[in-house]
Structure 1
Amino acid sequence: MISTLEELDLDTTTRVAAEVPWQTVVWDDPVNLMTYVSYVFRSYFGFARDEAERLMLCVHNDGRAIVATGNREAMERHVQAMHGYGLQATVSRAEP
């Protein structure tokens, strides 16, 4: 039998795990032009030109960029959209 304190600990652990956000990560690839990646970020996410360019340069120079953070379902939708644009993207847990 679980004590009341153990139940509270389990509830807190479950709630904290559920609140940890997820991220959409776009990866560099040898196919897409930098201008196209910037265009996708502007048109899909609604980023201003400067922010889209900054994120595109992160993809190009660092090999990846985190373009969105939120709940898992929303991040999975973003990944599917990026795949629709021909970009490589994945969902990952945000680091605390």
Structure 2
Amino acid sequence: MVALPAVPLVDESVDVERRELHASEVPWITIVWNDPVNLMSYVAWVFRRHFGMDAPTAEQRMMQVHTEGRAVVAEGNREAMERHVEAMHEYGLWATLERAPR
């Protein structure tokens, strides 16, 4: 009988690197939440100005915020979504970021 080496035959460090790379590629989303302060017209204006949405898209997202309590307004890497959340706060809107659903 031949004894097998105790060293694993698979380089586990490669799998860890792949998992880390995959995790960094997972998109994040920016969510704007309904609030009792801002006018609907102002929210639509912010979406047009900051995200460059056309008027119908901005109105649709604003109505989603108003009726459903929240709307996803952007998707991308974490750093970009953090900048969008900060910008929404500067406009006086409530916003958060989270990992995009898989």
The bucket for the TM-score relative to the shorter chain is over 0.9
Q: Measure, in 1, the Cα distance between the counterparts of 2:8 and 2:32.
A: 44
Gaps of 5+ in 2: 1-6
Spell out, residue by residue over 1:5-56, the C-alpha distance to the aligned partner (whole angstroms, 9 max, x if none). Answer: 3122112111110100111100000000111100000011110000000100
Find the partner of 2:55 among 28, 49, 71.
49
Identity value in percent? 55
Normalising by the residue count of structure 2, what TM-score does the alignment of the two structures yield? 0.88
Gaps of 5+ in 1: none
Indicate the RMSD between aligned Cα atoms, in angstroms: 1.4
Instruction: Please give the secondary structure, in 1, of the residue aligned with 2:74.
Output: strand
Residue pairs, 1:1-96, within 5 angstroms: 4-96=10-102
Change (3 A) 1:43 1:2: farther
Aligned length, in residue pairs:
96
- Give the partner amino acid of 1:13: R
Instruction: Please give the secondary structure, in 2, of the residue aligned with 1:57.
Output: helix
Structure 1 runs of 4+ aligned residues shifted over 4 Å read 1-4
- Give the partner amino acid of 1:58: Q
Q: Measure, in 1, the Cα distance between the counterparts of 2:47 and 2:62.
A: 8
Higher relative helix content: 1
